[in-house]
Amino acid sequence: MTLPASAPAIVVEGVRKSFKDTDVLRGVDFDVPRGSIFALLGSNGAGKTTLVRILSTLLAADGGKAAVEGFDVGAQPHKVREVISLTGQFAAVDEILTGRENLVLVARLRHLEHPQQAADQLLGRFGLTDAGARKVATYSGGMRRRLDIAMSLVGEPRVIFLDEPTTGLDPEARLEVWDIVRNLASQGTTVLLTTQYLDEAENLADRIAILHGVRIIANGTLAELKRLLPPATVEYVEKQPSLEDIFLTLVGHGESVKDRS
Nearest to 38 by CA among 191, 244, 202, 218: 191
pLDDT at 258: 41
The total number of structural domains that make up the chain: 2
Same domain, 207 and 227: no
| Mean pLDDT by groups of 10 residues along the chain of 261 residues | 76 96 95 96 91 96 97 97 88 91 94 95 93 96 90 92 87 87 93 92 96 94 90 67 83 53 40
Kind plus residue range of the DSSP H or E element containing 66? strand 63-68
Closest CA to 184 of 139, 152, 231, 136: 152
> What pairs with residue 137 in β-bridges?
none
CA distances from 3 to 8, 21, 32, 33 (A): 9, 38, 14, 12
pTM of the predicted model as reported, rounded to 2 decimal places: 0.83
Residue 213 shares a structural domain with residue 239: no
- 91 and 104 co-located in one domain: yes
**Does a structural domain hold residue 1?**
no
Sign of CA dihedral 52, 37, 187, 140: negative
| CATH number for position 192 | 3.40.50.300
196 and 140 in one domain? yes
Residue 110 lies in a domain: yes
pLDDT of residue 205: 96
Tell whether 236 and 192 lie within a shared domain: no
Domain extent for 242: 221-261
68 and 188 co-located in one domain: yes
Domain membership flag for residue 5? no
From the number of C-beta atoms within 10 Å of its C-beta (0-12, 13-18, 19+), residue 44 rates as exposed
On whether both 177 and 228 belong to a single domain, the answer is no
The answer on 168 and 181 residing in a single domain is yes
Same domain, 181 and 254: no
pLDDT at residue number 76: 97
Contact 192, 162 (CB under 8 A): yes
Same-domain pairing of 155 and 231: no
What pLDDT score does 1 carry?
57
